[in-house]
Amino acid sequence: MLVKIAPDLDDAALDAVCALALEIGLAGIIATNTTVGREGLTTDAAVVEAAGAGGLSGAPLRERSLQVLRRVRAAVPEDFCVIAVGGIDTAADAAERLAAGATLVQGYTAFLYRGPFWARQITRSLARRGATRGTARA
């Protein structure tokens, strides 16, 4: 069993989740889910407001998900599974997560926008780059 965390947690809460995950023997952490934040959007604020509450995914989430991944990776042992998700769109994004210590990467929004061959494009590009966990070839 893995636990999936919100990008809206502060550092203290992230550290507490990591400690608890280790303490109770979870198999890993998935970072991150969607955000309730609305910062940094280029869409008109009234349009965003009209869309209502709910989780925001995709590009606006990218930097925060990467920050959370780095925080989580620093708080758990190297062999502890950490799945990176949130705003991953390109092979460079995926390589960046791997370089930041992700065990696996996942995409949801980009898959919807890019279509069924998206994952193949990413994996082929990663293979060409020779990107693996812990390498910094983004």
* Positions in the binding site for ligand FMN (CB under 6 A): 4, 33-34, 57-58, 61, 85-88, 107-110
Minimum CB distance to ligand FMN smaller for 78 or for 117: 117
Closer CB to ligand FMN, 28 or 107, in the complex: 107
Look-up of token digits 């990591």: 18
127: left (phi over 0), alpha (psi -120 to 50) or beta: alpha
State the nearest-atom distance from the C-beta of 95 to ligand FMN, in Å: 15
Nearest-angstrom CA–CA distance, 21 and 2: 8
* Distance of closest approach, residue 105 Cβ to ligand FMN, in angstroms: 9
What is the spatial distance between Cα 134 and Cα 101, in angstroms, rounded to a whole number? 5
* Closer residue to ligand FMN in complex, CB, 78/115: 115
Residue 93 token pair: 């994004």
Integer Cα distance of 112 and 115 in angstroms? 6
User: SS3 for 5?
Assistant: strand
Cα–Cα separations (whole angstroms), residue 83 to 24, 53, 69: 18, 26, 8
Question: Of 18 and 31, which CB lies nearer to ligand FMN in the complex structure?
Answer: 31
Q: In this complex, which beta carbon is closest to ligand FMN, that of residue 77 or of residue 97?
A: 97
- Minimal distance in Å, beta carbon 109 to ligand FMN? 3
Least Cβ distance, residue 11 to ligand FMN (angstroms):
20
Q: Residue 110 corresponds to which amino acid?
A: A
- The minimum distance between CB 85 and ligand FMN, in angstroms, equals 4
